[in-house]
Amino acid sequence: MIFRKDVVAKVPAAYDGLAEYFRDIRAFFEVISVRFAIPEYGVRLRPLGGNELFSNANSYLLTDDSAYPYYLWLPSWLGRFYIDPDRIGEQRPLDDCLTADARLIAFVWPWLGFNDAYVRDADEPECWFGVTDPRPDDPKETVRVTAESLFNYFRVERTLDTEADGWAAGDFGARDIGCNLDGRWYLRRVPLSSLTSYYEVEQNIIRPLGEKFSELAQTSATSGPPAPGPLARSVADEV
């Protein structure tokens, strides 16, 4: 057996469906970038990586040498990270600024909601978003490197310690899974089905994330680095 007939018969419709899904992902992030550029909720945010999206499947190798127990040819997770350029100045590329200077890194991660090794299946596709205050071991680490660590090693189930006002929160520090971060994270999860209009994206993503970022920015401006916390969590998980 090479190609299974029932699978081949479904391929055109399945491809069309995924193509439309990724088209919506692109439009979603374009809207977010435009809205984050306006400091309506006390802060303006710009994405790291230019037009690039972080992904848990980014090549078509025939052998599986990834960190996942199975190989993914199609990404089930996509994500972007954002920082406040006003905190670090714009005289250099955002990706090259130090995490210690940026302090806060926001994230937005849509995922399919199923078949992930580290996260319990959701009822439907979701978007995870939030704000982190990561403190890498290396004081010279750039925000780009820190963002990659967040995407690869953020584990909710290992580091969640509280939930309040719709936000889950926890500390970083899971050395046993390769995470080199201390600090704190804040996370919300919303179904993609609740993001079908500009209004819903504004109310469910833009506004809460902007307000949380502004709140934490004010706190970090008047306080020193937090003490290292207990074991943290990583990127393909469950709340």
pLDDT of residue 210: 96
pLDDT of residue 235: 37
pLDDT of residue 181: 87
Pinpoint the alpha helices (H) of 66-155: 99-102, 143-153
pLDDT of residue 26: 95
What distance in Å separates the CA atoms of residue 211 and residue 132, rounded to the nearest whole number? 14
The pairing of strands 78-83 and 54-55 is: antiparallel
What distance in Å separates the CA atoms of residue 100 and residue 58, rounded to the nearest whole number? 29
Average pLDDT over residues 80-103: 88
Q: With a cut of 50, say whether residue 232 has pLDDT above it.
A: no
Q: Over the stretch 101-127, which tens digit does the pLDDT of each residue have? A: 999 999 999 999 998 878 899 999 999
pLDDT of residue 239: 38
pLDDT of residue 112: 94
SS3 of residue 73 by DSSP: coil
Strand-pairing partners, residue 187, are 130, 168
The pairing of strands 105-111 and 46-47 is: unpaired
Q: With a cut of 50, say whether residue 48 has pLDDT above it.
A: yes
Burial of 151 (0-12, 13-18, 19+ CB in 10 A): buried
Distances (CA, A) of 117 to 61, 89, 187: 20, 39, 19
Least confident among 34-38, 119-123, 156-160, 214-218: 156-160
* Distance, first Cα to last Cα, the chain: 40
Q: Over the stretch 23-33, which tens digit does the pLDDT of each residue have? A: 999 999 999 99
Which positions ≥6 away from 220 have C-beta within 8 Å?
A: 103, 104, 133
Average pLDDT over residues 170-188: 81
In single-letter form, the type of residue at position 117 comes to A
List own/partner pairs for 205-208 with CB under 8 A and 24 or more apart.
205/32, 205/108, 205/127, 205/129, 206/32, 206/35, 206/36, 206/41, 207/41, 208/129, 208/166
Q: Over the stretch 183-197, which tens digit does the pLDDT of each residue have? A: 999 999 999 999 999
Q: With a cut of 50, say whether residue 228 has pLDDT above it.
A: no
Q: Over the stretch 49-85, which tens digit does the pLDDT of each residue have? A: 988 999 988 667 766 666 655 566 788 999 999 999 9
On the CB side of 80, CA atoms within 13 Å amount to 20
Q: With a cut of 60, say whether residue 222 has pLDDT above it.
A: no
State the chain's mean pLDDT as an integer.
85
Q: State both tokens at 26.
A: 């692109």
Q: With a cut of 70, say whether residue 90 has pLDDT above it.
A: no
Q: How confident is the model at residue 233 (pLDDT cuts 50, 70, 90)?
A: very low
Q: How confident is the model at residue 221 (pLDDT cuts 50, 70, 90)?
A: low
